Each structure stands twice: as C-alpha cells, then as structure tokens.
Amino acid sequence: VTVAAHGVADRIHAVLAAQRTELRHVSLDIHSHPETAYEETRACATLAGLLKSHGFDVRRGVSGMETAFIADAESGSGGPRVAYVCEYDALRGLGHACGHNLIGTASAAAGIALLQALRESGVPGRVRVVGSPAEETGGGKIPLVTDGVFDDCDAALILHPDDRTMAVMWALACTHWRWSFTGRAAHAAGDPDQGINALDAFVHAYNGVSLWRQQLKDGARVHGFIEEGGTAPNIIPERTSGEFLTRARDAAYLEEMNTRFRAIFEAAASATGCVLELERGDDYRDLRSNAVLAERCGAHLDAVGLDRREVTPWDRVGSTDVGDLSYACPTLHPTVAITEEGVSCHTHEFREAAATESAHDAMLSGAAALALTGADVIAEPSFREAVRAEFTAQPWRRPDWAGSQP
Ligand SMILES: [Zn+2]
C-alpha cells in the first residue's frame, strides 16, 4: 500500500496550503519575541496552542522542563508512530539568528498535516510532536531521550534552515565549559606586587588553546569568550570568567580533547597563582542520520521543488542535541535553504532571512517533505522495516528503543 494510493500526499499539500497564513503568523510571532534557553514560555505556549487547536493532546512541562511539551494524536486506533521535533530557543544576544522559529513551526506543521491527511484517508497512524527547549545551549533533547520519549517512535524528523538544502546534515560532538579564574585585587600602580592577576591567567589559557589548535585532528574545534575581564584599569583584575566549547567528530576524540583542555586551564592557574573553577556543562553527541530515511526524504525534498545539493560530509558543521536524539531513535535532520549560499547562521543576515516570505515558502516545502516521509513510515510497512533494520544494526544505538510495535 503506497502513500500515493491513499491520496495522503495530496492531502498533506492541501492542509499546508490551507494553513499557510496561520503557520507563518506563528513563526513570525516566535521570531519577533526571541527567548533563550529554558525561557521560551511564549513560543512553547504558541506552538502547544496551535497543536491543541488541531486535535493534539498536549502535555506541557515534561521531563522536568517548563518549556518542553509532548503533543500526541492518532488518526485511527493505534498504528505506527512518527515524531516531529520542535525547537524554538533564540541565541543569546542575536535573536533568532539560527531560525528556530522556522524549525518549531515546520515540525508542528508537518505533524498537523500528516495527522489530518491520515484521518481523511482512513490510514491508522500516530503522530507525536515534541517541543524541545534549549537547543543552542542546555540540550533539552537529552532529558527527553533519557525519559524514553522516542523509544516508541518509528522515526524522528526535524529540519533546519540553512544556506543549502540537503537531506543529510553532520554535526560535531560538543562539550560546554564554564570557567573562572580568581586572583587578588591590588592597586595596579602602587602595589602591583600584591596582586594576583586573573586576566593574565586567562591570557595564558587562551594562548595555550591557540597553540594547541594547530595539533588538533581535522574538524576539531575549540572556541570561547571572556565575560568578566576586570573592573577598572587601575585595579589588578581579581576575577575573570567566560565559556568555551570543545568539539570533535566523535565522542572518543572529544574526551581526549577535554583532558587536554582542562590541563591547559589548570596550567594557567598554576602559572599565575590564581584559583581555577572549571565547570563541565552539557555534552552533545555527534549526529548519525538514518540512511534509509535520508534517501526517501531526499526524494521528497526534490519532489516539493527544493534545490537540493550534493553533500560533502563535515562541510561547515556545528553541533546539535539532535545528535543525542539520533542515538536514541531512527532520525533525520535535513536542511532547507532560506538564503543565498554562503550566508551562515548565527549572523545578523541569517536572523533577517529567517523572517522573510521566501523563508516561509521554504519552511512549508520542508514541512511537506517531513510529512511525506512520515507518511511513508506509517503507511509503507517495507519502508518502515528498512528504517528499523538500519537502526537496530548499529551497536551504538540506545538499547531501550523498540519503535511502535515491539
Ligand atoms: Zn544555532
């Protein structure tokens, strides 16, 4: 039984066309009210309300996160289950420069369109839309994964706006560090010998990182910033603090890097007589796409008229907690172009692009591709089995995963 035979595909397009105005309004509302990690109360309420009004049963405040939600619905009784994952957090200081307004709305739109198309076609299936806060920092998907939210899902899908449309995205494993050096204040002219200079400690650490960088493996990254650098030019800086990220293509090399990273900061403390506090925050895993989902979703991206690029693995990559999701459930995270090629996210240009009319056209085309791929998972048993087989063959996968029909 194919999706086309049920007319599901045509109905998905019809629902998205009919809902265009409302979906664009939701996306622009999120864009114009940027909220950072775990403070996304307005965006969470907006998306939860949208899903509720389209027949979803919505639970908010799940997995110990105020701004997370799980929305469930079924078209008949039981059947396979597909998850769509919403993100809606903004960047500190830069607003929606990663376009999460488009991600959150696209996933909700895909869920709404798929549910309605399945209902109208009489195909039994279950749709779950998961609201995942704090993608930029914090990692909202990690507690959701730990709580088993995706263990009974046959696939998880989420798109990302980009400057290129691609079926497959790569992402680096990543560790988030918060650091501070504490020394002793002194009159910088009168009694410099009485001071212990916390800015010198950071300069030491920064130079250590910069020298280390030339020995790193391909693709590894280390970068950060200083938040407190001192208080006045006539005082020996008593305290400096900030954040860093270490990133690598796999968790094993990231651990090697983290050992060295800590040693560099400890050496700087030792060299200057400062006290170091180094707090290791959240870890994101690398992203492992389901190849079977990727091939099918690629065909749908082509079919909806997006100009898809051939992918060079690891070309211009970041990190995402979708990586953690990809270890827990068959996952695909395609990208959809909303700008000219060469405009990178986390820039002012990208934030402006995420609010344009053409970005919303791309968002809805991408949502259609996600919904069509989900429809195939639900209505095409051989495809669903192939997705499952590809995932269960992986030794690294989360052992608790069973899919909808264990
Ligand atoms: Zn981002």
From first to last of its 406 residues, the chain has per-residue pLDDT tens of 456 667 899 999 999 999 999 999 999 999 999 999 999 999 999 999 999 999 999 999 999 999 999 999 999 989 999 999 999 999 999 999 999 999 999 999 999 999 999 999 999 999 999 999 999 999 999 999 999 999 999 999 999 999 999 999 999 999 999 999 999 999 999 999 999 999 999 999 999 999 999 999 999 999 999 999 999 999 999 999 999 999 999 999 999 999 999 999 999 999 999 999 999 999 999 999 999 999 999 999 999 999 998 888 999 999 999 999 999 999 999 999 999 999 999 999 999 999 999 999 999 999 999 999 999 999 999 999 999 999 999 999 999 999 998 5
227 touches 243 (CB < 8 A) = yes
Distance CA 109, CA 50 (A): 9
Give kind and range of the element (H or E) at residue 137. Answer: none
Nearest in space to 132 (alpha carbons), one of 60, 53, 33: 60
Chain-centre distance of CA 140, in angstroms?
A: 9
CA of 96 to the centre of ligand 1 (A): 9
| pLDDT at res. 2 | 58
Site of tokens 């039994």: 124
Give CA–CA dist 381/207, Å, rounded.
56
Give me ligand 1 centre to Cα 383, in Å. Answer: 32
Answer yes or no: are the C-beta atoms of 183 and 236 closer than 8 Å. yes
Q: Quote the pLDDT of residue 406.
A: 59
Q: Residue-wise over 258-292: b if at least 16 C-beta within 10 A, else e?
A: bebbbebbeebbeebebebebeeeebbbbbbbbbb
Going by C-alpha positions, the residue among 217, 184, 176, 218 that lies closest to residue 200 is: 184
Distance 212 CA to ligand 1 centre (A): 26
- What pLDDT shows up at residue 4? 60
- Coil vs helix vs strand at 142: helix
Distance 97 CA to ligand 1 centre (A): 7
Spacing, Cα 299 to ligand 1 middle (Å): 26
Q: How far is the centre of ligand 1, averaged over its atoms, from the C-alpha of 268 (Å)?
A: 31
Q: What is the pTM of this model?
A: 0.95
What distance in Å separates the CA atoms of residue 384 and residue 153, rounded to the nearest whole number? 11
Query: Ligand 1 centroid to 318 CA: how many Å?
Result: 8
Per DSSP bridges, beta strands 173-182 and 275-284 are antiparallel
For the chain, the 3-state helix, strand and coil shares in percent, each to the nearest 5, are 45, 20, 40
> Beta-carbon neighbour count of residue 108 at 10 Å?
28
CA neighbor of 81 nearest in space, from 296, 330, 290:
330
* pLDDT value for 5: 60
**C-alpha 273 to ligand 1 mean position (Å):** 37
Which residues have a Cβ under 8 Å from the Cβ of 392 and sit 6 or more positions away?
none
Q: Compute the distance between CA of residue 269 and CA of residue 159 in angstroms, rounded to an integer.
A: 43
Q: Would you call 224 helix, strand, or coil by DSSP?
A: strand
Ligand 1 centroid–CA 346 distance in Å is 6
Instruction: Say how many Å lie between the CA of residue 54 and the centre of ligand 1.
Output: 29
DSSP 8-state secondary structure symbol assigned to residue 159: -
For residue 86, the CA-to-ligand 1 centroid distance in Å is 14
By the 8 A CB rule, do 368 and 167 touch? no
**Cα separation of 331 and 327, whole Å?**
8
